[in-house]
Amino acid sequence: MDKQKKQLYKIIVALILFFLGFFIKNETVQSVLYLAAYLLAGYDVLLKAVKNISKGKVFDENFLMAIASIGSIILSDYAEGAAVMLFYQVGEYFQSYAVNKSRKSIGDLMDICPDYANIEKDGQIIQVDPDDIEIGNEIIVKPGEKVPLDGIVLGGNSTLDTSALTGESVPREVYEGDEILSGCINLNGILRIKVTKEFDESTAAKILELIENASSEKSKAENFITVFAKYYTPIVVTCALLLAVLPPLILDEAFGSWIYRALIFLVISCPCALVISIPLGFFGGIGAASSSGVLVKGSNYLEALSKSEIMVFDKTGTLTKGVFKVEEVNNEDGVDADELIETTAYAEAFSNHPIALSVKERYGKDIDNNRVGDVKELAGFGVKAIVDEKEVLVGKYALMRENNIDASEADSIGTVLYVSKDGKFLGSLVLRDEIKEDSKEALKSLKEAGIKKTVMLTGDKKEIGEYVGKELGLDEVYTELLPIDKVNKVKELMDKKSENGKLVFVGDGLNDAPVLTMADIGIAMGGIGSDAAIEASDIVIMTDEPSKIMTGYKISKKTLSIVKENIFIALFVKIGVMALGALGLANMWEAIFADVGVAVIAILNSIRVLRYRG
């Protein structure tokens, strides 16, 4: 039987004994039942209080509950003494349940490391510990199994469930030659994989490590509550002591009623609602973000994200795909557009340059290499090839001029390829780094949500950077920047935010490490397979979708809102009932239900963020 179930059964038995006491008229039996309920519910609290006092840790919630309940029993208020301890334990059970629910949510999400890997030995498939697999070994993943290690697909094709890694429900198709990450679930075909990373360095292991360490990075609110509780409890105990002693001496009244008021003061002053609900709120926020494919390294970063004022984006791989795409086909009169694309693709047949690959992708057909001969790379200009026994030139406008070809210069933004065949100009192709589908909507949403300034930094030419900036509606664009220039520009922008405002830098995590670490919050886009991204950034977005930034931002706002609600509710109710208790206008029952009620409300409120998806 687990600890939580034992606690529940103990509370149920104690409640039965407690309520039996209400229906027994014999005072002796009634007192025995109340004391039995008290000891059953509270022996561990009393034990903790004694142990902590022996260690010098006097002022904690166990001490408060022990003093308040023992004081009630000394005053012969057995029912109230038992109720103090019993309903305190009810609150503790809710707390335990909430924490376990939060942990289970993250645990289920991050249950991505399998216990075994399949290898083939002597014609048989056997299971071994993933730790025993080395780089270069081959593993086999059957349908329904988790991929245990990162690698390359050597054989087979399948559909993968990547939701635990990316938060995306749409399955991903994989074929021979594709990269595959640990933590995915193989849905159908059998896959043979060549391992590229050892288990400790695998994607799944890195993510688990990140999540496990997230709780160690505390937010300002959590640190405040830790310090607050340290001083708050001794002050409250001192006030209760003064309340019990001074008024009777000054007003010449009986000590009994004032001691009773002091005990009420102690019960309601218990800081449990604050101490647990705030960390639980941030814990839930980190869990909600993880479920949406946004890994946050600590609650301090979640809190900081909610205060973002300036968001700075790298261009390539962040707002754009980092992949060239043929955006314009400018064929000359009398030249078919398909002929222009085909001729260019054949001239680039043997090239692996990203631009050549993009042209061949646009062509979309198999290339007959027998039609191509005598290919020459013209450094800085382009390429010359013989296609169908005719000379083809593909490259810059200067290449056309160099060969006295009458070409019309394209007035387009992007990389322009000019094409000629046997001295005749066929036209030009314009390629641009493709803007991600959701970049524009993501930036618009961030502005609407309260981000004051959006900025893009890029090493690209001015006209390309400004084109992307205009398309996306960015506030500022800085172009032709070297890595050191990006660092200096972020330093300048840091001076433009308010005292409490935060600057966020979003990059692809591959070459942005200096800027990621300099910003208040560094976010790595698509960092799921990048060790550099996980190391350098504070938040890792597991997919390549800029819209996930907005998801993380909204979750951070919701988390902070819930934390502030908990602080306000707890302090408002506690201060109010403490004042009423001191004035003799609240009894012990009201104090008990106010204390437990506030704790339960705060805990349930904190759980809400777990279901929030932005």
* Catalytic residue annotation: 314
Return all residues near 560 (Cβ < 8 A) that are at least 6 apart: 221, 303, 306
Structure tokens at 421: 């065949």
Inter-CA distances, 536 with 212, 300, 530, 607, Å: 17, 16, 10, 30
CA-based torsion, 125, 126, 129, 132: positive or negative: negative
Torsion, Cα of 217, 223, 226, 232 (10° steps): 180
* Buried b / exposed e along 500-513 (16+ C-beta atoms within 10 A): ebbbbbbbbbbebb
Determine the Cα–Cα distance for residues 270 and 290; give it in Å rounded to an integer. 32
Tokens for 33, please give them: 């039942």
Give the C-alpha separation, 30 to 24, whole Å.
6
Q: How many CB atoms lie within 10 A of CB 255?
A: 13
- Is 303 within 8 Å of 500 (Cβ atoms)? no
Q: Is 26 helix (H, G, I), strand (E, B) or coil?
A: coil
Contacts of 520 (CB under 8 A, 6+ apart): 304, 494, 502, 503, 504
Three-state SS across 104-163?
Answer: HHHHHHCCCCCCCEEEEECCEEEEECHHHCCCCCEEEECCCCECCCCEEEEECCEEEECH
Distance CA 333, CA 160 (A): 48
Tokens of 200: 């400790």
- Eight-class DSSP state of 332: P
Indicate the angle between helix axes 588-607 and 78-109, nearest 10 degrees: 0
Cα–Cα distance for residue pair 142/186, rounded to 1 Å: 7
How far is Cα 214 from Cα 138, in angstroms, rounded to an integer? 33
Angstrom distance (rounded) from CA 152 to CA 433: 27
Query: Among residues 563, 611, 556, which one has the least CA distance to residue 294?
Result: 556
User: Which contacts qualify for 357-364: CB closer than 8 Å, 24 or more apart?
Assistant: 357/324, 358/323, 358/324, 358/325, 358/326, 358/431, 359/326, 359/417, 359/429, 359/431, 362/325, 362/326
- The Cβ of residue 523 has, within 10 Å, a number of other Cβ atoms equal to 30
**Torsions phi, psi for 458 (to 5 deg):** -150, 155
SS3 of 297-331: CCHHHHHHHCCEEEEEEECECCCEEEEEEEEEEEE
Identity at 600, one-letter amino acid code = V
Which among 319, 325, 304, 305 is positioned nearest to 477, based on CA atoms? 319
Q: Which amino acid is at 195?
A: V
CA angle 590, 594, 600 (to 5 degrees): 145
